[in-house]
Amino acid sequence: MRLEQLRGLRIGILGYGREGAAALDALLARVPDCKPVVWVESGAVPVKVPSRTGPFDHGLLDFDVLIRSPGIPVLHPALQHFRSVGGPIVNPTSIWLAERPDVRVLAVTGSKGKSTTASLLAHMLHACGRTVLLAGNIGVPVLEHLDTDAEMAVLELSSYQLADLEGRLHLGLFTRLFPEHGDWHGGVDHYFASKLRMVELLHGLPLLINARDPVLLEATELVPARVLGNQPPLTHRRDSALVRDGQTLLQSAQWPLLGQHNLDNAALALEAAARVGVDLQEGVAALRTFRPLAHRLEVVAGKDQGRGWINDSIATTPHATLAALEALQGRPVVLIAGGYVRPADWSVVLQHCRRWPLAGLVVLPDSGCDIAAAFVAEPETCRGEIRSVSNLDEAVAESASLAGTKGTILLSPGAASFPHFRNFEDRGERFREAVRTYRERSTA
C-alpha cells in the first residue's frame, strides 16, 4: 500500500515501538490529511496525536486501515475480526516496498544468524563501493529511509515482519530454521509458514539457503528457485575455514567472529554479494575488516585474572545457546541462562554438554529453575556447581566464583528477556555494566 492511498483515512497504528514511531512520522510528514491514532496495549504513547491504551478489541472497527507494528501478533483475535470484515491491515515494511520499488532488495531471514549475515552482506557491499541501506529487524525501521539514495537495501526480516508482508524481494537469504517464538505464532507450523513467506515475496527469484541445515533443506525442497549455499561447488565451510574450488579463502583465526556458524553466515553473504557483482576476493578482504555485532558472542572484557566474559544476550532459544557453546568448544565454560518462561527444548544443549560438560551453571528467573532441573537430571552435563540467582549482578559474581582463574563466563540465556528487561539489548547492556562493576570491585 502506498502512502497516498491513506489520504483522508482513519488510521490505527498498533504498537509504538521503533516501527510504530517510524510509521507515525512517515504519515505526519507525507500524508498531512490522514487521521492517525496510536493504540498500545500498555506502555508510553505519543502526545502529538490522539492515542488509546488498553487491550485491542472491537474498537479497531473505528478505523479504515490498521498499521501493525511487528510485535503485534497477526493472529490476535481483534485483528482477525477486523480482517474478517474486510479491514486492511498493513505492515510498515510493505509501505516502504511499495514506495521504493526502484531499490534492489536483498532480504535475510533465519532462526539464527540473520543479523550477522545481513550485516556481513551490507559491509561487503559498502566496502566494494556500493551504496547500500541496512535496515529492518536489525533495529533500523526501513520507513525511516523513504528518501534513501541507496542502489540496494539489505533488509533483515523477522517472522513477525514476514507474516503478512506484501511486496517484491530480489534475492533471499535463509540462514537456519528451528522452532522459535511459538507463543507469538501459536505454534511451530505458523512460525515456519511465516518464515517461508519469503518464497512468495521473491516471485520466482533465487532463495539462497544454508544447505548444512537439514530442517531448512527439507522445508524448502519444493522451491524451484532454491540455491544450495554453503556447500560445493559454492563457497562453503570446511572445518574452520571458508573454501571454494579447493582454495582456502579465510581461516576462522583470520577474522574476529567466533564460531563455525559465523563461517556459515559468511559463506551465504559471500555468495549473495557475488550475485550482485562483488568480486570474490574483494568480498573476502572485506570480511577481514568486519567487527562483531553487540550482544552476539561479544567479548565484553579482556582477560580478568584469567577469566573471559562473553555477552550472547541475543540467544533467546536453546538452539542459539547451543551455537554459542559450540563456538567455545574446548574451553571451560560457566553458562548464565534463563529468562522468560515458554516452551523450550533444552535437549539439544544437554546433548552437546554430555560431550563437553559445563564448568558451572548459573540460572536466572524465571525459567532458570527448569533449566537447572534439566541439568541436575543429567549430572554428567555439568562438572561444577549449579547456582540460582535473582539478578545479573548476582549472576556475574557467582559465575566468576565458579569459573576460577581460567574459565569463560558466557551469558547465553536461551530465553527471551522480558519481563525483567526491555529487550535483549537491554539485558546485554546490563550484563556489560555488571561485569564492569564486578571487575572494579574485585581490583579495588
Q: Where are the alpha helices (DSSP H) in 292-423?
A: 318-327, 347-355, 368-376, 392-403
Q: Compute the CA torsion angle 61, 64, 70, 72 (nearest 10 deg).
A: 0
The answer to whether 114 is annotated as binding is yes
235 labeled part of a ligand binding site: no
**Closest C-alpha among 115, 118, 117, 114 to residue 133:** 118
CA distances from 403 to 77, 255, 266, 303 (A): 48, 27, 32, 12
Rounded CA gap, 205 and 395, in Å? 48
d(CA 438, CA 347): 32
Direct distance between the N- and C-terminal alpha carbons of the chain, in angstroms, rounded to an integer: 60
113 is in an annotated binding site: yes
Q: Alpha carbon of 389 to those of 40, 162, 248, 349, 405: distances in Å?
A: 33, 37, 46, 21, 21
399 is annotated as contributing to ligand binding? no
Please indicate if the annotation marks 115 as binding a ligand. yes
* 277 labelled binding-site residue: no
State how far the alpha carbon of 5 is from the alpha carbons of 24, 62, 118, 232, in Å. Answer: 15, 18, 31, 47
Residue with cell 497504528: 13
Residue stretches of the annotated binding site for ATP: 110-116
Feature table: binding site: 110-116
